[in-house]
Copies of this chain bind each other. A is one copy, B any other.
Amino acid sequence: MSNEPERVALLTNPRSERVRSVVSLRRRAVRSRRGRFLVEGPHAVRELLTHVSSHVLELYLTAQARSAHPDLARRGGDARVSLYECTEQVLEVMGESQHPQGVVAVARPVDVSVDAALDAVGDGYAVILSHVRDPGNAGTVIRGADAFGAAAVLISSDSVDLYNPKVIRSTAGSVFHLPISVGAPVERILGRARQAGIALLAADGSGGTPLHHAELTGPHAWVLGNEAWGLPADVAGDCDHRVAVPIVGHAESLNLAMAATVCLHASCMRGRT
């Protein structure tokens, strides 16, 4: 039997306190103070409700989205989420995206501690982001980490906020699929990884071992740096190896998401022929 409530509150006023409260979660300071973040669009909200339903607090749907995606209200009901039906206008105001497709959820943070993320590595591999500032790149790397079987992602305190709506959107739901730690200084992440016996591989466009010669058999972590200037020298120096994706042609470099995609794919394929 479905737990979807028979009657749900209807929100029609885009200037109401509740709507403004949701909108305010676009701001990092508000997210951080209130311990809440936004998830937009039917696909991402479905992944949220499927994988971490206990973290979901509020679900906002237009009538059209509610009828197009009947599973969302049902899953929300099962998870005892507060459900609201909104006018198109209200939902447009709420969504950070231009196309939230009639669906917005408010959830509690899903990140884990550095130790919990590293414990998940086992014989696998992790991805560490240091000084990554572009939300789309961070989200795409998380999506790649999920697709290519990374055990965890660790985002340093000097990187973009995981809960930035653009990051969440770019992960296409992958943010709910694997343990992700946030907020620790990169030095602490590298130190703890080293203690855990995880080899640290600095992805470095400027040189080092070519990727196809890199040793990827044991537990390891890819350390990815800033979009424009890569890893700071001290962070790269803290790593065990520098690894480069060889490029040909006149291209100056790969962008961060492309380089990360190739490195993570290589880790995923190790041992396969």
> Which residues in A have some Cβ–Cβ distance to B below 8 Å?
43, 47, 51, 140, 143-150, 172-174, 177-178, 212, 245-255, 257-258, 261-262, 265, 268-269, 272-273
Q: How far, in angstroms, from A22 to B235 measured CA to CA in the complex?
A: 44
Chain B contacts of A51 at CB under 8 A?
Answer: 250
Chain B contacts of A145 at CB under 8 A?
Answer: 249
Determine which of B248, B257, B268 lies in contact with A148 in the assembled complex, contact meaning CB atoms within 8 Å: B248
Chain B contacts of A143 at CB under 8 A?
Answer: 251, 254-255, 258
Chain B contacts of A173 at CB under 8 A?
Answer: 250-252
Identify the 10 closest CB pairs spanning chains A and B, nearest first: A147-B251, A149-B248, A147-B247, A146-B251, A177-B250, A146-B249, A258-B261, A261-B261, A262-B265, A174-B251
Q: What's the nearest-Cβ distance from chain B to residue A247, in Å?
A: 4
Max chain B Cβ within 10 angstroms of own Cβ: one of A147, A252, A257: A147
- When A212-B273, A254-B144 are in contact, do A174 and B262 touch as well, CB less than 8 Å? no
Are A140 and B249 in contact (CB-based, < 8 A)? Answer: no
Determine which of B251, B252, B262 lies in contact with A262 in the assembled complex, contact meaning CB atoms within 8 Å: B262
Looking across the interface, which residue of chain B has its beta carbon closest to that of A272?
A: B212
- When A255-B140, A258-B257, A261-B262 are in contact, do A248 and B212 touch as well, CB less than 8 Å? no
Q: How far, in angstroms, from A150 to B251 measured CA to CA in the complex?
A: 11
Chain B contacts of A147 at CB under 8 A?
Answer: 247-249, 251, 253-254, 258
Chain B contacts of A150 at CB under 8 A?
Answer: 249
Q: How far, in angstroms, from A255 to B268 measured CA to CA in the complex?
A: 17
Looking across the interface, which residue of chain B has its beta carbon closest to that of A258?
A: B261
Q: What's the nearest-Cβ distance from chain B to residue A19, in Å?
A: 29
Q: How far, in angstroms, from A177 to B47 measured CA to CA in the complex?
A: 41
Q: How far, in angstroms, from A100 to B66 measured CA to CA in the complex?
A: 43
- When A255-B172, A258-B257, A262-B265 are in contact, do A249 and B212 touch as well, CB less than 8 Å? no
Q: Could you list some 10 contacts between A and B, CB below 8 A?
A: A43-B252, A51-B250, A147-B248, A147-B258, A149-B249, A172-B253, A173-B250, A173-B252, A177-B249, A212-B269
